[in-house]
Amino acid sequence: MINSHVHSTLSVDSSLSLREICEIALEKKIDRVAVTNHLVPISSGSGRKIMWELTPPITIDAPPDLWKKHFEEFKAVREDFPQLTLAFGIEADFYAPILSELKALLEAVPFDFVLGSTHYLNKYCISFREACAAYLKENALETYLKHYFEMSREAAASGLFDSMAHLDYCLEAPAELGMKIELRDYEEFAKKSIDEIARRKMAIEVNSCGLRKAVKNTFPSFELLEYAYAAGVPAVTIGSDAHRAGEIDFGLREAVEVAKKAGFENAWFFVERKPVEIPLSSL
Ligand SMILES: [Zn+2]
Ligand SMILES: [Zn+2]
pLDDT digits (tens, 9 = 90+) for 71-99: 888 899 999 999 999 999 999 998 877 78
Query: Over 60: is that where the pLDDT of 278 sits?
Result: yes
Cα–Cα distance, 273 to 87 (Å, whole number)? 10
- The long-range contacts involving 181-188, CB below 8 angstroms and separated by at least 24 positions, are 181/141, 181/145, 183/221, 183/223, 185/141, 185/142, 185/145, 186/145, 186/146, 186/149
Ligand 1 centroid from CA 127, angstroms: 8
Ligand 1 centroid from CA 97, angstroms: 20
pLDDT (tens digit per residue) in 183-195: 999 999 999 999 9
Residue type, 82: P
pLDDT of residue 96: 78
Query: Over 60: is that where the pLDDT of 58 sits?
Result: yes
Ligand 2 centroid from CA 92, angstroms: 9
Ligand 1 centroid from CA 163, angstroms: 12
- Angstrom distances, CA of residue 120 to CA of 10, 160, 214: 20, 18, 19
pLDDT (tens digit per residue) in 126-172: 999 999 999 999 999 999 999 999 999 999 999 999 999 999 999 99
Domains of the chain, each with CATH number or no CATH: 2-282 (3.20.20.140)
Ligand 2 centroid from CA 180, angstroms: 24
Query: Over 80: is that where the pLDDT of 207 sits?
Result: yes
Ligand 1 centroid from CA 93, angstroms: 8
Peptide bond into 110 cis (omega under 30): no
Does residue 226 or residue 102 have the better pLDDT?
Answer: 226
Cβ atoms of residues 170 and 190 within 8 Å: no
pLDDT of residue 45: 55
pLDDT of residue 64: 67
> Residue 95 class from Cβ within 10 Å (0-12 exposed, 13-18 middle, 19+ buried)?
buried
pLDDT of residue 48: 61
For the chain, how many residues are written? 283
pLDDT of residue 49: 67
Ligand 2 centroid from CA 140, angstroms: 27
The pairing of beta strand 163-164 with beta strand 124-125: unpaired
Cα–Cα distance, 83 to 77 (Å, whole number)? 12
pLDDT (tens digit per residue) in 110-123: 899 999 999 989 88
pLDDT (tens digit per residue) in 8-38: 987 667 788 999 999 999 999 999 999 998 8
The pairing of beta strand 236-239 with beta strand 203-207: parallel
pLDDT (tens digit per residue) in 229-276: 999 999 999 999 999 999 999 999 999 999 999 999 999 999 999 999
Ligand 1 centroid from CA 37, angstroms: 9
**Which residue, 36, 40, 43, is CA-closest to 58?**
40
Ligand 1 centroid from CA 165, angstroms: 7
Cβ atoms of residues 116 and 64 within 8 Å: no
Ligand 2 centroid from CA 184, angstroms: 26
The mean of the pLDDT values for the chain is 92
**Which residue, 34, 103, 96, is CA-closest to 274?**
34
Is residue 106 very low, low, confident or very high in pLDDT (cuts 50, 70, 90)? confident
pLDDT of residue 89: 95
**Which residue, 205, 249, 222, 250, is CA-closest to 89?**
205
Other Cβ atoms closer than 10 A to 254? 15
